[in-house]
Structure 1
Amino acid sequence: MAEKRDYYEVLEIPRTATVEEIKKAYRKKALQYHPDRNPGDKKAEEKFKEAAEAYEILSDTDKRARYDRFGHAGVNGTGGNGFGGGMSMDDIFSQFGDIFGGHFGSFGGFGNFSGFGSSRSRQRTNKGSDLRVKVKVSLKEILTGVEKKIKVKKYVACSHCHGNGSENGDSVSTCTTCNGSGVVTRIANTIFGQMQTTSTCPTCNGEGKIITKKCAYCNGEGIVREEEIISIKIPAGVTAGMQLTVSGQGNAARRGGINGDLLVVIEEEEDPNLIRSGNDVIYNLFISFPTAALGGTVEIPTIDGVAKIKIEPGTQPGNVLRLRNKGLPSLNGYGTGDQLVNVNVYVPETLSESEKKALSQMEKSSNFTPSNSAKRNVFDKFKKMFN
């Protein structure tokens, strides 16, 4: 699958573009690649869908913010096609047709171009509501990415009427008021001449059809509430609070239409040993005074196992050791963080008489009195922490 282009690049707008500028840019692209203008041109159709997908994300404040922060992964957690790629042309027309005014094809100077405004109806397409769930992930799962299966209570299409709300799924007739178009057009004579207005059909509420006998299982709604198991692919490198979008896995729409989306909010499980700091992880290592003075080898936990590190003789409390590339990956694949090992020297709280005597003897040695340079190093580290 080809890599998706940047949405701002698709619409040829700067990242600072306003909502009106985004709408204007999309309108221009939709005009350019509209299928009525490019019959049989698959490349133009893909560009038309690509522009619709870009507009769907950038025109939504919340989705745009996630996209600006996390890129495509922030708005498409499953890695599949987004809005434009996963929906039909009619879905796009129904969802975004209103930004052109009237019928989708009514493009001002192109009202009669190749059937614009007449070849496609404005039947109202119901849209299911979005669902939001929280999913907990561990540092190890963030390291590699993970697929989670979760139970979600949501509205799904009624199996008895196949989602159209009628008994046995066939008690439906075409609305006679709008002849199935979902809209009614009126022409009025004014001092400026004849004026044409188009509005939603009051009889069928824009659906273009009438249910003659309601389904007894869903009372004509076409949806029922059930529990469903959904598989969610969480990419490596996610952060707490990030929101992924699983297209079409939200609530089903009444009497057919477009399913809502499932919004997955990432929660990070607290690790018993490691602290996350961006893409780095921090481990607080406690060693004994003899180990700090004499040196040695210690074993420490990492995200995906354990590692052995060498303690140099004379290691001071507060020293930080760095394990390269032992942290977490960047969400967009720009490198991997490190594991920082913060060295602490443990001072015993109780001592035996022999231990006290041995320490008293050592204290008399000049080696146990810090030099001026050692004092300065500690001072500089302390100062840096608060600057």
Structure 2
Amino acid sequence: MAKRDYYEILGISKSATAAEIKKAYRKMALKYHPDKNPDDKEAETKFKEAAEAYEVLSNADKKARYDQFGHQAFDGAGGFGGGGGMNMDDIFSQFGDIFGGAFGGGGGFSGFSGGFGGGQRRVKGSNLRIRVKLTLEEIANGVEKKIKVKRKVQAEGTTYKTCSTCNGSGQVTRVTNTILGRMQTATTCTTCGGAGQSIDKKPADADAQGLKVKEETVSIKIPAGVVDGMQLKVSGKGNEAPGNGVSGDLLVAIEEQAHPTLQREGDNLHYDMYVSVPDAVLGTSKEIDTVTGKVRIKVEAGVQSGKILRLRGKGIPSINGYGTGDLLVHVNVWTPKTLSKQQKEFFESMREDEHFSPKPESSDKSFFEKVKDMFS
């Protein structure tokens, strides 16, 4: 099922300011917060949608990528997303600052607890970041990569007990008397870091949180059409959290490798094809590289240097699902730098021949007209 537009979810325009985006999200979250709508699946869905939309639109870099590529800038395939796959722990832990004093204490709700009724807040493990190099062929066709990742996991034999400071809630509540009356605030427990649990027993090779580094092979499905610098997310493949926390995410940065003969420009590809003077005069056929293999193209007799041959659909698929780009073949007539005596005599005899005199036709566009066409 297709995702709803993030701007539509928050009820704002694409020109909305950061303050307007924040205000719209706060309004939606207050309306559909699960504590205010218990056992309401529709409200829960809208609450998550609003959080996902805000997570993308409040970040300038993610917003720019979403405006350009839509959901596929993050979704890709198999669990990627700017906020896709967010659970309630993600939402409560990442967006609590939006609500200020509206939740928690005397605000009428149970606060950001990671649950629906004021239970323990679950800690999320830290994210991991890796860079994956892709060839142009892999980008054009999509690829599944198996990458070895060193991530922290709970060491075997580690056990936890309820934190005695916060009694397992992950938060410490303080009541302060002010001129406005008694005010109640909740802060993260410094003893357990908000996990609600502390180490009971752990093996000698585990760290202070009961975690140890383990190398794992992670399968990453990369969709066709990704661009250099794009970041994908594999949910739950970052570092694990101690106790009953949730794992962080694996963030995958795309690095596009240079191709020996093809150059990318958006979804289009460019290829420089060199032909000899005899081939340009008489016509020929040439085998050239594409991202799906080699193809043979026909070069008409009398072809002019600078002519562009367009092979439709031989470029890169649009990551946003808007078709596939083209392969633009640039014809370059190669002029020999050294000639034999006989060859020189032949060309000398052709100097005054009318067939060798330049006679550009209206269809033979100038260099500047070709450049203009390419960018129009």
What is the aligned counterpart of 1:143 among 130, 135, 140?
140
1:185 match: 173
Letter in 1 for 2:336: P
Cα distance in 2 for partners of 1:99, 1:352 equals: 79
RMSD: 3.2
Contact kept, 8 Å, 2:350 with 2:356, in 1: the verdict is: yes
Q: For 1:322, give the aligned amino acid.
A: R
The structure-2 alpha-carbon separation of the partners of 1:187 and 1:131, relative to structure 1 and needing over 3 Å to count, comes to closer
Report the identity percentage. Answer: 55
Change (3 A) 1:261 1:67: farther
CA distance in 2, matches of 1:78, 1:84: 14
- Report if aligned partners of 1:286, 1:343 keep a CA contact under 8 Å in 2: yes
Matched residue, 1:120: 118
2:245 matched to which residue of 1?
257
Match of 1:343 in 2: 331
Among candidates 156, 159, 165, match of residue 155 of structure 2: 159
Q: Aligned-pair distance for 1:90?
A: 4.4
Cα offset, 1:269, TM superposition? 1.9
Shift of 1:332: 0.6
Quick one: structure 1 residues 193 and 363, their matched pair in 2 at CA, closer, same or farther if it must change by over 3 Å?
A: closer
Shift in CA distance, 94/368, structure 1 to aligned 2, threshold 3 Å: closer
| Aligned residue number for residue 381 of structure 1 | 366
Distance 1:229 1:209 in 2: 29
Alignment CA distance shift 1:85-1:105 (3 Å): farther
Does the aligned pair in 2 maintain the 1:77–1:232 contact within 8 Å? no
Gaps of 5+ in 2: none
Q: Which residue of 1 aligns with 2:10?
A: 11
Pairing of 1:87-236 with structure 2 (within 5 A): 87-101=86-100, 104-105=103-104, 108=107, 110-111=108-109, 119-121=117-119, 123=121, 125-155=122-152, 157-161=153-157, 167=158, 169=159, 171-172=160-161, 174-236=162-224
- Residue of 262, 276, 281 corresponding to 1:274: 262
3-state DSSP of counterpart to 2:95: helix
Residue 303 of structure 1 and its aligned partner are, at CA, apart by: 1.9
> What SS does structure 1 have at the residue aligned with 2:131?
strand
2:52 aligns with 53
> 2:260 & 2:196 partners in 1: Cα distance?
59
CA distance in 1, matches of 2:279, 2:82: 59
TM-score when scaled to structure 2? 0.85
Q: Which has the higher helix share?
A: 1
- The residue number in structure 2 matching 1:357 is 345
Code of the residue aligned with 1:16 in structure 2: it is S
Alignment CA distance shift 1:309-1:191 (3 Å): closer
Question: Structure 1: which 5+ runs fail to align?
Answer: 162-166
Shift of 1:98: 4.2
The residue number in structure 2 matching 1:80 is 79
Structure 1 residue 205, shift from structure 2 partner: 4.1
Query: What one-letter code is carried by the residue in structure 1 that aligns with 2:309?
Result: L
Counterparts of 1:84 and 1:314, CA distance in 2 = 56
Could you say if the C-alpha distance between residues 94 and 361 of structure 1 is closer, same or farther in structure 2, counting changes exceeding 3 Å?
A: closer
Equivalence for 2:61: 62
In structure 1, C-alpha distance between the alignment counterparts of 2:82 and 2:134, rounded to whole Å: 27
d(CA) in 2 for partners of 1:126, 1:50: 22
State TM-score, norm by structure 1: 0.83
| Aligned residue identity for 1:73 | Q
State the distance in 1 between where 2:266 and 2:226 align.
Answer: 10
Letter in 2 for 1:120: G
Kept in 2, the 8 Å contact 1:139–1:268? The answer is yes
